[in-house]
């Protein structure tokens, strides 16, 4: 057992975003101060998270038990390697996205910006809560909170399209969480309330004698119940949610929301069942094949999409399925790869989304087919886009390579050559739908566009506040290639717990 | 045959009467179209329940639960003497000779309970009559189907 | 609807009759209900506890006085409810439209009028007797109260609602109804203040001109019966007055 | 003084009503302060009672001092469960009274005293029902509360209020009469009216007694009518939706819940769970009907266009939750039911308070009239959202935890249909409430572009509710969350009461594994 430290740090990390709501609302008339409050909260949160890193790296676990909310099961925070990795990604990208949303929202003169920032902060609190949740109940609580808090963000435009998207969003997320995850949760509660539903490397279900088809049903209920992970057939909320303003798509649908879904499923695998127990049960392969199916299908669909954000959304579905596929292989290296991929994909995908948003702000264009030759007008944006694309595909010099490497070797360890093929084929597909965007932007088919000499003076980038963040994240994608040690260390902590 | 008759009919005839009356009332409450007839049914139903209770308290050969006066007076004197001797009368475990034989008096409790039921019946009836007056004022009829038709018509209009 | 009702009724009747096997015979003095210690206690100990020969009154006003208090409240509620539902207050005055009922009410028959004039005092006197003599014979607050209320209703029937309301105006009967419950619960609260449980009349011997607790009980019972009578008579009249005049308290039947 | 609390809680309400009646005749302005004083006192006393019960166990109070032999007088008997329900009742009463402040004065100026008299007597009747230990006394108080609620409903301004009240009177009288008959049957066989004594007598009976069975069925059916259990719920939607807002706010949360409470009390204390679950093989049936109730309530709620009607059908579904939970013959089912009695009272209160505010401030009756409410009445909507989340069952509101316990009970006892129904109803609630949110958030006609779509002229007409209406709503919302956050403490109390000797006859409710 790792050493346990009792501290309220995770709670403060969680609440720092929530506390920001007050100044944001109070300062709604002073836009600069309001956005300042968001930044301050972002840095405070990151500060709290980073301050916990050394202890987590030292193999310790930070815990904080709040009230015992129901018989045997308290509200509890627990920071371990997995949670820390996720929290680190989410909190650092929040700051970047905040900056980006300032540029985006102002650039488009959006309405109700205060509401936007308020719910953004609440969403972050919920994300942190999921990252640091110490037991299944706490996890579920923050999971639901996130679904609800992001609804006003998704439907921000309040038009017909937003209405439809929002409806779908809630129908899928709430429907599955209440319909699948909640019964599974209660089943666990019935079976294992004595363990406090606390995540542990050995899995709290391991000792309850759940077996065979019951375990499989339970596993599937959880996997589909946390449908924020976008596993098929419960994926179509994600393209629908692309009606949201781009910062929302960028942070929530590249980082917070979808990653929360994946993170929950990983928790189910590693904390609820436990890898060893799952190996014994030999049921995870079902999930593997569902994920594999999702990977290939979503990539194929992505190829056909012309709307850039929708293409990215389907790409996200595929990448999320990678992560689930990785963890469902139950091999150490695959699991490490999965965790690392959460970070790598987050950085890559957020870059892509921010680029898409920047293009929209600067030119009003949404479709890939309209983007011929845009690279000359917005060179920085498209360079960043290409880097992000490389990261998502998993090519050097970006961090994506590292996580993919772990995933593929993990699949080999698991002795699943077919699944290795899935990884490789999908990588090709990734390349097929992402690279042409950059290519067409720089080398348009229309010769006239390409024949014009490039000049910095003719560029028309989006506002600096929108461009700077995407540059930062694209650089981050490269940095993660050079220095992935911290991430890998955090990701492997959990595996070493198992060992 | 006669045994069955006696067992099921004669010995429980009070019960039969009460149940039959109750069912008449209940039937009227459920099926009658006129609101006042429903209320009449309600009264019959409640009265039958009263009959049921009171007849349950009957003892063959017993009188009403009021002590005869001479018994009452002697008892009272005894009770008074007793009270002087001890500080409380209420909790005294009596060692005196009882002139009262419980079998001589019918059970008082059902009577008391039914006094309550009567009062409740009156109160309910009064309120129900007031409500039906308001209904009449609003709809000009006390026939249930006509009222429902008017409600439907009003709904379709508005 | 008829068939549904019939089936429901047959079903209910069958259910009620199905328990007949298990029922005590009619008039069985040793049925569980009749031979229960509770019933025996009432018959044997009433006189000892309170010196009241009428067990029904004793059970009503003393042993189960708590129930009876709420019964009085039920009566009060009925009156208040009817007023709340029907009463037309400060609305269109009843005199605004010619009321045929009112005209008929004016032509009163002399025979009826005279009979009632003679009957009503007797009726009221008898009502007081029934209230007061409830300890010794069938009677009590409810019964007497109803008779008292009926005397006012008779006035209203014979002479019209307005003369009756002159004798017992709305403000007064409402107050009377409330005061009745206040009297009843006041006895209970007095017991509370003297340190005993609610409605434990025995302690009232320090307040009432009585020699012992039993007599205090007896007297308190009379007191609460008077309270009951207040409420019942007032509300009986209130119900009649409101129903007869559609809440306008003018004209009447 | 403290040992007199059980009677004092009723007396403050009774005297409150009497003083309102007497003084209100002279000056209507005293009605509201008097009512509030009485209710505040009642809440304080019920808190005192709860404290005493928790620290000192069951309170037995013999009215008139007639303690021996038990049953000659009337006993008030308070254990943890009814102390909690009592506190719920008085609190709901207090909040609704505050809510009614301006409404009643504006609606029925002349009848204000009458309204408050009836209102206080209704709360008194319900409180009395909950704390009594006498089966017949319960009937009297049942009638007290029924009569007042008939009158309060008939006071509605809508033309249909009287019709609704009339059918409510008919159904209510049938229900109460069935209960009375049931008590009569019990009395015939056991010779007593005291609940504990009846229980002892039933235990002492040699062999099965058809009288007791019929008595139980009669009482059950009577209570089922009173609590609007499927399929006897026909009277409820009209009665609760055409009455004045302040009436529906107190009647809707409390009447059905108290009905459920009485049923639970009958099952636990009077008949005893061993008898109910082992002698009678009704468990499957009752849970089956409860499942139908939940589904029917949910489906019919979906079909409604009027806000209050929709809430009424949700009540039908919620009653199904509780009856099903109580009849699962499982420890957690029973715990969940009792917890849900409290939680649901506040949830329903929240719904109806919000509906009342909508009617008052914006004249909203139908769901589609709610457009743009988030902008127009943000505070009201905030309170409403909390209530709605509780109805859906989102943590950390109390709705989530009651579902948690109920589903746990269903799983342990193997009533999978019930579990499914509960989940389906949660989903239906989610659809229902998000449909409302959507309308309230977007407005009726979705704007084409983004941004400024709100019609500003309308905005100036509809204003946020007054504090006297907002405070109760927000307080209810806070209570809903607090009930959720501190549910483990409550559940611990309930469990202790169920397992200890407080509520007799619960040995059949095993805590682990259940019967199924």
Return the number of other C-beta atoms located less than 10 Å from residue A202's C-beta: 15
| pLDDT tier, C190 (very low <50, low <70, confident <90, very high otherwise) | very high
Cβ of D173 under 8 Å from any chain B Cβ?
A: yes
The verdict on a CB contact (< 8 Å) between D65 and C178 is no
For helices A182-192 and D398-413, give the axis angle rounded to 10 degrees: 60
Q: Tell me the pTM.
A: 0.86
- pLDDT beyond 60 at B89: no
- pLDDT beyond 80 at B85: no
Pairing outcome for strands A76-79 and A61-65: antiparallel
Residue A446 lies in a domain: yes
- pLDDT beyond 70 at A134: yes
Residue B124: closest CA among D185, D182, C87, C239 = C239
Local structure of residue C21 (DSSP, 8 states): G
Task: Go through the domains of chain B in sequence order and give each one's CATH number.
Answer: 13-65+105-158 (1.10.287.3510), 67-104 (no CATH)
N-to-C CA span, chain C: 35
Residue D162 lies in a domain: no
Task: Note whether A touches C: 3 CB pairs or more under 8 A.
Answer: no
The verdict on a CB contact (< 8 Å) between D118 and C31 is no
Asked if A497 and A202 count as a contact pair (C-beta separation under 8 A), the reply is no
Q: In angstroms, rounded to a whole number, what is the distance separating the alpha carbons of residues D357 and B76?
A: 64
pLDDT of residue A355: 85
Q: Please give the share of chain A, as a percent, with pLDDT higher than 90.
A: 0
| pLDDT tier, B74 (very low <50, low <70, confident <90, very high otherwise) | low
Return the number of other C-beta atoms located less than 10 Å from residue B22's C-beta: 24
Residues 6 or more apart whose CB falls under 8 angstroms from that of D372 comprise D440, D442, D443, D444, D454, D455, D458, D459
Q: List residues bridging with B63 in a β-sheet.
A: B105
The verdict on a CB contact (< 8 Å) between C189 and D11 is yes
CA pseudo-torsion sign A325, A330, A331, A334: positive
Residue D264 lies in a domain: no
pLDDT, tens digit (0-9, with 9 covering 90-100), for A336-367: 888 888 888 888 888 888 888 888 888 878 88
Cβ of B128 under 8 Å from any chain D Cβ?
A: yes
pLDDT of residue D71: 80
B122 interaction partners in chain D (CB closer than 8 Å): none
pLDDT of residue D404: 87
Task: State mean pLDDT over C215-243.
Answer: 92
Which among D121, D137, D192 has CB closest to C66? Answer: D137
**Sheet harboring A4-6: ordered strands across?**
A4-6, A61-65, A76-79
CA distance C168 to chain D (A): 16
- pLDDT beyond 60 at C93: no
pLDDT of residue C253: 65
pLDDT of residue A454: 63
Q: List residues bridging with D77 in a β-sheet.
A: D60
Instruction: State the DSSP string of C106-132.
Output: HS--HHHHHHHHHHHHHHHHHHHHHHH
Residue A342 lies in a domain: yes
Asked if A488 and A399 count as a contact pair (C-beta separation under 8 A), the reply is no
Pairing outcome for strands A4-6 and D59-63: unpaired
Pairing outcome for strands D74-78 and D59-63: antiparallel
Asked if A139 and A82 count as a contact pair (C-beta separation under 8 A), the reply is no
Q: List residues bridging with D447 in a β-sheet.
A: A159
Instruction: State the DSSP string of A341-410.
Output: HHHHHHHHHHHHHHHHHHHHHHH---BGGG-TTHHHHSHHHHHHHHHHHHHHHT-TTSTHHHHHHHHHHH
Which chains does chain D touch, 3 or more C-beta pairs < 8 A? A, B, C
Cβ of B100 under 8 Å from any chain C Cβ?
A: yes
Q: How many domains does chain D have?
A: 1
Q: In angstroms, rounded to a whole number, what is the distance separating the alpha carbons of residues A283 and A203?
A: 15
Residue A434 lies in a domain: yes
Per-residue pLDDT tens digits of chain D, which is 516 residues long? 678 889 999 999 999 999 999 988 888 888 889 999 999 999 999 999 999 999 888 888 999 888 878 788 899 999 899 899 999 999 999 999 998 887 666 665 678 889 999 999 999 999 999 999 999 999 999 999 999 999 999 988 888 889 999 999 999 999 999 999 999 999 988 888 999 889 888 888 877 788 899 999 999 999 999 998 888 888 888 888 888 888 888 999 999 999 999 999 999 888 888 888 877 788 888 999 999 999 999 999 998 888 889 999 999 999 999 999 999 888 889 999 999 999 999 999 999 999 988 888 888 888 888 887 887 888 888 999 999 999 988 878 899 889 888 998 898 888 889 999 998 999 899 888 888 888 887 765 544 444 444 444 444 566 777 888 899 999 999 999 999 888 888 888 888 888 765 665 555 454 433 332
pLDDT of residue D453: 44
Reduced to 3 states, what is the DSSP secondary structure of residue A65? strand
Asked if B133 and C253 count as a contact pair (C-beta separation under 8 A), the reply is no
CA pseudo-torsion sign B30, B32, B37, B40: negative
pLDDT of residue C134: 86
Question: For C140, left (φ over 0), alpha (ψ -120 to 50), or beta?
Answer: left
Q: In angstroms, rounded to a whole number, what is the distance separating the alpha carbons of residues A106 and A466?
A: 10
Whether ipTM exceeds 0.90: no
Residue D448 lies in a domain: yes
pLDDT of residue D331: 87
Residue A439 lies in a domain: yes
Asked if C241 and C252 count as a contact pair (C-beta separation under 8 A), the reply is yes
- pLDDT beyond 70 at A495: no
Residue A168 lies in a domain: no
Pairing outcome for strands D74-78 and A61-65: unpaired
pLDDT of residue D173: 93
| pLDDT tier, C120 (very low <50, low <70, confident <90, very high otherwise) | very high
Please, how many CA atoms are within 13 Å of residue A106, restricted to the half-sphere of its CB?
14
Instruction: State the DSSP string of D270-333.
Output: IS-HIIIIII---HHHHHHHHHHHHHHHHHHHHT--BHHHHHHHHHHHHHHHHHHHHHT--HHH
Q: What count of CB pairs under 8 Å joins A to D?
A: 100
Residue D220 lies in a domain: no
Task: State mean pLDDT over C173-178.
Answer: 93
Chosen for mutation from B131, B138, B154, B158 (greatest number of chain D CBs closer than 10 Å) is B131
pLDDT of residue D448: 42
Reduced to 3 states, what is the DSSP secondary structure of residue D204? helix
pLDDT of residue D230: 82
pLDDT of residue D497: 84
Spell out a b/e string for A280-295, using b for 16 or more CB atoms within 10 Å of the CB, else e: ebebbeebbebbbbbb
pLDDT, tens digit (0-9, with 9 covering 90-100), for B25-54: 999 998 989 999 999 999 999 999 999 998
Phi/psi for A291 (5° steps) reads -65, -40
pLDDT, tens digit (0-9, with 9 covering 90-100), for A68-122: 777 678 888 888 888 888 888 888 888 888 888 877 777 677 777 788 888 888 8
Residue A473 lies in a domain: yes
pLDDT of residue B75: 52
pLDDT, tens digit (0-9, with 9 covering 90-100), for A378-425: 888 888 888 888 888 888 788 888 888 888 888 888 888 888 888 888
Q: Which domain holds residue A372?
A: 299-307+320-499
CA distance C136 to chain B (A): 7
């Amino acid at each position: 057992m790792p050493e346990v430290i009792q501290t309220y740090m995770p709670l403060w990390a969680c609440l720092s975003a929530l506390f920001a709501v007050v100044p944001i609302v109070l300062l709604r008339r002073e836009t600069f101060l309001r956005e300042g409050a968001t930044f301050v909260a972002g840095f405070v949160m990151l500060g709290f998270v980073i301050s916990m890193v050394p202890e987590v790296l030292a193999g310790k676990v930070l815990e904080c038990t709040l009230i015992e909310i129901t018989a045997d099961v308290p509200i509890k925070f627990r920071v371990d390697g997995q949670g820390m990795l996720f929290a680190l990604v989410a909190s650092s990208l929040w700051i970047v996205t905040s900056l980006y949303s300032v540029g985006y929202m102002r650039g488009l003169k959006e309405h109700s910006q205060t509401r936007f920032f308020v719910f953004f902060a609440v969403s972050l609190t919920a994300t942190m809560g999921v990252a640091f949740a110490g037991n299944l109940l706490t996890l579920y609580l923050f999971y639901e909170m996130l679904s609800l808090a992001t609804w006003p963000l998704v439907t921000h435009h309040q038009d017909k399209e937003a209405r439809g998207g929002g409806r779908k969003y809630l129908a899928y997320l709430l429907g599955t969480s209440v319909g699948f995850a909640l019964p599974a949760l209660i089943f666990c509660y019935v079976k294992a309330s004595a363990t406090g539903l606390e995540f542990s490397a050995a899995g709290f279900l391991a000792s309850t004698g759940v077996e065979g088809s019951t375990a499989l049903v339970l596993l599937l209920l959880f996997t589909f119940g946390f449908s924020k992970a976008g596993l098929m057939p419960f994926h179509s909320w994600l393209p629908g949610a692309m009606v949201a303003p781009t910062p929302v798509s960028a942070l929530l649908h590249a980082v917070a929301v979808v990653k929360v879904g994946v993170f929950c499923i990983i928790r189910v695998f590693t904390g609820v069942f436990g890898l060893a127990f799952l190996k014994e049960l030999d049921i995870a392969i079902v999930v593997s094949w569902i994920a594999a199916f999702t990977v290939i299908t979503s990539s194929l669909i992505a190829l056909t999409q012309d709307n850039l954000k929708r293409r990215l959304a389907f790409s996200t579905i595929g990448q999320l399925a990678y992560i689930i596929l990785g963890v469902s292989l139950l091999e150490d290296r695959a699991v490490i790869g999965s965790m690392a991929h959460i970070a790598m994909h987050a950085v890559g995908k957020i870059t892509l989304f921010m680029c898409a948003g920047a293009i929209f702000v600067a030119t009003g264009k949404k479709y890939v087919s309209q983007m011929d030759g845009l690279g000359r007008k917005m060179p920085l944006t498209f360079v960043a886009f290409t880097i992000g694309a490389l990261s998502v595909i998993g090519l050097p010099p970006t961090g994506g390579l590292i996580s993919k490497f772990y995933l593929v070797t993990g699949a080999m360890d698991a002795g699943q050559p077919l699944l290795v093929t899935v990884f490789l084929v999908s990588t090709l597909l990734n390349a097929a739908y992402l690279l042409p965007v950059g290519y067409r932007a720089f080398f348009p088919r229309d010769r006239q566009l390409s024949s014009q000499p490039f000049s910095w003076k003719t560029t028309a980038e989006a506002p600096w506040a929108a461009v700077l963040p995407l540059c930062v994240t694209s650089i981050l994608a490269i940095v993660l290639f050079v220095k992935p040690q911290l991430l890998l260390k955090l990701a492997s902590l959990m595996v070493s717990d198992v060992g | 045959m006669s045994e069955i008759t006696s067992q099921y009919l004669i010995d429980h005839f009070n019960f039969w009467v009460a149940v039959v009356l109750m069912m008449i009332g209940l039937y009227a409450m459920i099926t009658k179209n006129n609101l006042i007839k429903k209320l009449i049914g309600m009264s019959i139903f409640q009265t039958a329940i009263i009959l049921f209770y009171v007849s349950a308290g009957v003892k063959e050969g017993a009188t009403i639960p009021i002590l005869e006066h001479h018994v009452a007076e002697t008892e009272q004197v005894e009770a008074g003497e007793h009270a002087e001797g001890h500080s409380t009368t209420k909790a005294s475990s009596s060692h005196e000779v009882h002139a009262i034989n419980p079998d001589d008096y019918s059970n008082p409790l059902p009577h008391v309970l039914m006094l309550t039921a009567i009062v409740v019946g009156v109160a309910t009836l009064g309120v129900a009559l007031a409500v039906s007056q308001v209904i009449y004022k609003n709809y000009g009829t006390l026939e249930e189907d006509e009222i429902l038709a008017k409600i439907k018509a009003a709904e379709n209009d508005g | 609807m008829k068939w549904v009702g019939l089936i429901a009724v047959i079903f209910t009747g069958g259910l009620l009759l199905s328990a007949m096997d298990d029922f005590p015979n009619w008039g069985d003095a040793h049925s569980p209900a009749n031979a229960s210690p509770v019933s025996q206690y009432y018959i044997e100990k009433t006189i000892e506890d309170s010196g009241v020969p009428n067990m029904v009154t004793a059970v009503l006003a003393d042993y189960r006085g708590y129930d009876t208090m709420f019964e009085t409240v039920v009566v009060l509620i009925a009156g208040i409810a009817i007023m709340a539902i029907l009463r037309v207050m400060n609305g269109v005055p009843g005199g605004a439209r010619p009321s045929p009922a009112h005209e008929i009410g004016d032509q009163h028959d002399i025979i009826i009028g005279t009979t009632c004039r003679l009957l009503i005092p007797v009726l009221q006197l008898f009502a007081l007797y029934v209230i007061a003599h409830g300890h010794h014979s069938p009677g009590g607050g409810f019964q007497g109260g109803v008779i008292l209320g009926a005397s006012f209703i008779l006035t209203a029937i014979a002479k019209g609602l307005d003369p009756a309301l002159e004798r017992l105006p709305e403000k007064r009967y409402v107050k009377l109804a409330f005061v009745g419950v206040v009297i009843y619960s006041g006895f209970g609260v007095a017991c509370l203040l003297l340190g005993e449980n609610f409605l434990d009349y025995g302690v009232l011997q320090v307040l009432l001109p009585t020699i012992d607790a039993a007599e205090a009980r007896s007297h308190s019972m009379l007191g609460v019966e008077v309270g009951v009578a207040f409420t019942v008579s007032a509300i009986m009249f209130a119900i009649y007055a409101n129903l007869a005049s559609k809440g306008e308290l003018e004209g009447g039947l | 003084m403290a040992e007199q609390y059980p009677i004092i809680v009723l007396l403050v309400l009774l005297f409150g009503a009497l003083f309102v009646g007497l003084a209100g005749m002279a000056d209507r302005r005293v009605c509201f302060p008097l009512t509030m004083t009485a209710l505040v006192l009642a809440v304080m006393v019920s808190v005192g009672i709860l404290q005493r019960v928790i620290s000192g166990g069951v309170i037995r109070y013999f009215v008139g001092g007639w303690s021996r032999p038990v049953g000659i007088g009337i006993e008030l008997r308070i254990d943890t469960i009814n102390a909690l329900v009592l506190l719920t009742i008085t609190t709901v009463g207090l909040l609704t009274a505050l809510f009614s402040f301006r409404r009643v004065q504006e609606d029925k100026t002349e009848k204000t005293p009458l309204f408050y008299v009836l209102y206080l007597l209704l709360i008194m009747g319900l409180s009395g029902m909950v704390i009594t230990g006498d089966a017949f006394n319960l009937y009297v108080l049942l009638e007290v509360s029924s009569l007042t609620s008939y009158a309060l409903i008939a006071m509605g301004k809508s033309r249909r209020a009287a019709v609704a009240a009339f059918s409510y009177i008919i159904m209510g009288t049938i229900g109460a009469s069935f209960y009375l008959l049931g008590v009569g049957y019990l009395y015939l066989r056991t010779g007593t009216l005291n609940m504990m004594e009846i229980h002892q007598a039933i235990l002492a009976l040699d062999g099965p007694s058809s009288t007791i069975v019929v008595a139980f069925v009669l009482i059950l059916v009577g209570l089922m009518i009173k609590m609007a259990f499927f399929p006897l719920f026909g009277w409820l939607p009209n009665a609760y939706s055409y009455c004045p807002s302040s009436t529906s706010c107190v009647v809707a949360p409390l009447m059905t819940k108290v009905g459920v409470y009485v049923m639970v009390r009958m099952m636990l204390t009077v008949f005893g769970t061993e008898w109910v679950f082992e002698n009678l093989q009704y468990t499957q049936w009752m849970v089956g009907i409860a499942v139908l109730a939940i589904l029917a309530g949910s489906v019919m709620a979906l079909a409604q266009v009027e806000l209050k009607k929709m809430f009424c059908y949700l009540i039908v579904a919620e009653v199904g939750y509780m009856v099903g939970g109580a009849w699962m013959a499982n420890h957690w089912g029973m715990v969940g039911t009792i917890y849900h009695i409290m939680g649901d009272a506040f949830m329903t209160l929240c719904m109806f308070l919000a509906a009342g505010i909508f009617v008052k401030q914006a004249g909203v009756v139908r769901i589609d009239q709610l457009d743009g409410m988030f902008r127009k009445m943000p505070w009201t909507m905030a309170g409403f959202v909390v209530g709605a989340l509780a109805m859906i069952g989102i943590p950390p509101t109390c709705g989530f935890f009651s579902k948690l316990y109920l589903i746990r009970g269903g799983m342990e006892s193997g009533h999978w249909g019930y579990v499914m129904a509960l989940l389906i109803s949660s989903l239906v609630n989610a659809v229902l409430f998000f449909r409302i949110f959507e309308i309230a958030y977007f407005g009726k006609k979705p704007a084409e572009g983004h941004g400024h779509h709100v019609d500003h002229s309308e905005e100036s007409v509809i204003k946020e509710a007054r504090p006297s209406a907002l405070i109760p709503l927000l307080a209810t919302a806070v209570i809903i969350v607090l009930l959720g956050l501190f549910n483990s403490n409550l559940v611990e109390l309930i469990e202790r009461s169920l397992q200890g000797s407080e509520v007799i006859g619960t040995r059949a409710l095993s805590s682990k594994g259940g019967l199924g």
